[in-house]
Structure 1
């Protein structure tokens, strides 16, 4: 799963940011405890003053999985998942939905 967005430094000095991707757990999984939001990926980007750049964050497949105590193994949380992107879990201005398939 890959997410792309445009990052812009609106300041007058160079700076860096670490955008983060968070996922809501799969609604298809009801028998396993999962966090409300899970940090699934991040990427450090450095931008000059007034510079913009396309940022791409790839979420590893393992981040879409959960521990299934019934089968004693990893399961994939399929279905529609809410996705948030921002600078921290408190600042998530970008929101989308993505469908996870096996």
Structure 2
């Protein structure tokens, strides 16, 4: 014990991964979240796979329009727009949609 000692404002032992001021030592992107604590995921609230706890975007957000069919007028789902698809359309021509 030294009664003449003063507190110089330094810590004796910093938490693992942090300096004495509480700043993360391993934060490659400088976002204030330690690399080991990053939560990866889609950070866009408009996406269908939005991850609200995400701290690091993975740029893999999915939107409803990403799931539109490649062949819009293929009503039979056979990968080909043909006569059957046209007949489906004509059969519904003038119908009221819900």
Please say whether Structure 1 and Structure 2 have the same fold, judged by a TM-score greater than 0.5: no
Greater radius of gyration (CA): 2
The structure with the greater share of residues assigned to strand is 1
TM-score (norm: length of structure 1): 0.23
* RCO comparison, higher one (Cα < 8 Å, 6+): 1
Q: Which has the higher helix share?
A: 2
